[in-house]
Every structure is written in C-alpha cells, then in structure tokens.
Amino acid sequence: MRILVTGAAGFIGSHTSERLAKLGHTVYGIDNFSVYYDINLKKKNTQSIQKAGVTFIEGDLRIEHLETLFPKDLDYIFHFAAHPGISATSSFDDYLSNNVIATQRVMDAIENLENPPFIVNIATSSIYGLEATLTENEAPLPVSWYGVTKLAAEQLILAYARRGLVSGCSLRLYSVYGPRERPDKLYTRLIDCGLNNKVFPLFEGSEKHLRSFTYVQDIVDGIVSVIGKEKVTNGEIFNLGTEEENTTATGIEIVEQLLNTKIAIDKKPARPGDQSRTKANIDKARKLLNYNPNTSMEEGLQAQIDWFKDL
C-alpha cells in the first residue's frame, strides 16, 4: 500500500508512520512543524520515522497546493494533522484553521481523483464532551474549541463518504500516553517533574478525573487494523482506547512508584472545558476490528520513562 500520514512528526502520527513502514507499506509523512511545542522534539520524531523508511515532506495543509504536494496513487491517508489539546494560549482561529480548514483542503485535493485514497480521520474522545462514555451512535456534546473543531473535521470527511465521493472512517482516540507524548501532556510533565525536582501544576479537581489511559502502541494497533477492512469501516466511527478507568491521582502514584520519588504539587485553578471522565466503549471496534488493548499502565509508563531519560 502507498500511504500518506499527515501530522507525521507528532506523537501518535510518528508511531503510526513507523508501524506502517515496518508492516511493509510505502509510507510518506507530512508535517508543518507547528510551534505549539518544541520543534526539536518533532525533529527527533522525524529522524526516527525516516530511519524506519518513511519519506518525509515538510508542508502546511492550510496553504500548500496539495494536488502537487501529495504523492501520486495513494491507497490510504491517515489524517492526524491538527491543533491539539485545550490551551489558553491558542485562539479559536488556531483550532479552526488547523482542524477544519486544513481537513477541507485535504478533501478538495482527493475528491476528484480517479481512485481517491481511503481516508482515516484521527478524532478524539473530546468530541463527546465532559463525560466521554458514549457509544459511537450517541450524540456528542463537545465543550471545548478543540472538541468542536475535531467533530467538524470528522463530519466533513464522513459527509464525503455518505455522498460516495470518497471512502473513509473516523477513529476517536482516548487519553493516549507513552513515548513521544507532548511536553504539555500529563505523563511527560509528571516524569519531567519527578526526574528533575520540579513542581507539577495540577488543575483543581483533576486528581479525581477518570480516564481511559491508553498506551500508544495499543492505539496504533487499532489504527492500522482498518487496513483491509475498507467495506466494513467505510462511513463508520470507532472508539479506540482501553476500557479500564484510572484517576489522575492513580496515574501520579504509579509514576512516583516507578521513579521512587515524591512529586511536589502546585494546585492551579480548574481548566475550562476539561473532561471529568473518559471511558472507552470499544464494543464496535472489538467486533469489527478485532481490537484488544492490553498494556498495563505500569508497563506503558515505564516505557515512557525510559524514553524521557534518553531525550
């Protein structure tokens, strides 16, 4: 298969690019090296995927002429590129342009091809709202700009599929952690604080939040399982994540145990739009994709600690 991964220098996009290359596919990765976080970390991710055999293209989906930027005769596009997370320093336009406009431009570039590639949209449990415990058939209730614009991007792609212009599906990912996790995310920050004697900023009430913390390789298992199942996945939405729930407090305790240290906490005001609970309902993915995440938090967090020490 000839496959393009957008957002290939990012956390999950880089892991997926590597896995696809190791499976024997011809893989192209594209990224615009957004300054949302340290570009040097993305450069390291890029070096890793290139070593795995991925051909890397630097480009911005919002401004480039995509018909000439994209490789020809693609079989698949895995669309990760987006403005992530909930950040007080990000404007609505950051989310709109990166998550909605960029996605529309991707669809414009492929809809008139004689054989358009199958597009796999990478969505998020933030689409569901404050409590992400729903099935794929229930109405989402997003509360953040991130969730709203990721839902819009998802529905853009599915609208093309419903009209028969392209084939594709959307995957809603739950609380992913592991090596290469962004520096603003929970576990990379915790590990940094634990190893470097820093104070961890904890949003008020978040220690009680429940999460389906899912190891990145378990997520990648679900993502790549779409290949070869185009007929049963076309036009569909799938939740990917573990069914096991843990509080943020439990996650902090596990990191402290693995590092054999106590992490100092600085309580911050609650963050608007933050989810109080995520619990992945994966009945559909288990049935149609044979999806079965099984990495324990202790195993996954030890791998993340080992990665962080090598940075």
Per-residue model confidence as pLDDT tens digits over 204-263: 888 999 999 999 999 999 999 999 999 999 999 999 999 999 999 999 999 999 999 999
Q: Is 252 helix (H, G, I), strand (E, B) or coil?
A: helix
The CATH H-level (homologous superfamily) assignment of domain 2-176+214-240 is: NAD(P)-binding Rossmann-like Domain (3.40.50.720)
What average pLDDT does the chain have?
96
Q: Cα dist. 59→6, 70, 252, 271 in Å? A: 10, 10, 37, 32
- What is the reported pLDDT for 296? 97
- What is the reported pLDDT for 274? 78
Each domain of the chain, given as residue ranges in start order, spans: 2-176+214-240, 182-211+244-279+295-309
pTM to 2 decimals?
0.96
The dihedrals phi and psi of 231, each to the nearest 5 degrees, come to: -70, -40
CATH of domain 182-211+244-279+295-309: 3.90.25.10
Residue 264 has pLDDT above 80, yes or no: yes
> For the stretch 188-217, what's the b/e string if a residue is b when 16 or more beta carbons lie within 10 angstroms of its beta carbon?
bbbbebbeeeeebebeeebeebbbbbbbbb
Percent of the chain clearing pLDDT 90 (strictly above): 92
Through-space distance between the first and last CA atoms of the chain, rounded to whole angstroms: 32
In terms of DSSP H, where are the helices of 123-211? 145-162, 186-196
| d(C-alpha 169, C-alpha 215), whole Å | 22
Lowest mean pLDDT, pick from 36-50, 75-89, 189-203, 261-275: 261-275
Ramachandran sector of residue 53 (left: φ over 0; alpha: ψ -120 to 50; beta: rest): left
**Catalytic site residue from 37, 76, 146, 291:** 146
Residue 44 has pLDDT above 80, yes or no: yes
- What is the reported pLDDT for 275? 87
174 noted as active-site residue = no
| d(C-alpha 242, C-alpha 296), whole Å | 10
| d(C-alpha 178, C-alpha 182), whole Å | 9
Per-residue pLDDT tens for 64-93? 999 999 999 999 999 999 999 887 789 999
Note whether 2-176+214-240 and 182-211+244-279+295-309 share their fold.
no
| d(C-alpha 168, C-alpha 282), whole Å | 19
Length in residues, the chain = 311
The dihedrals phi and psi of 3, each to the nearest 5 degrees, come to: -130, 135
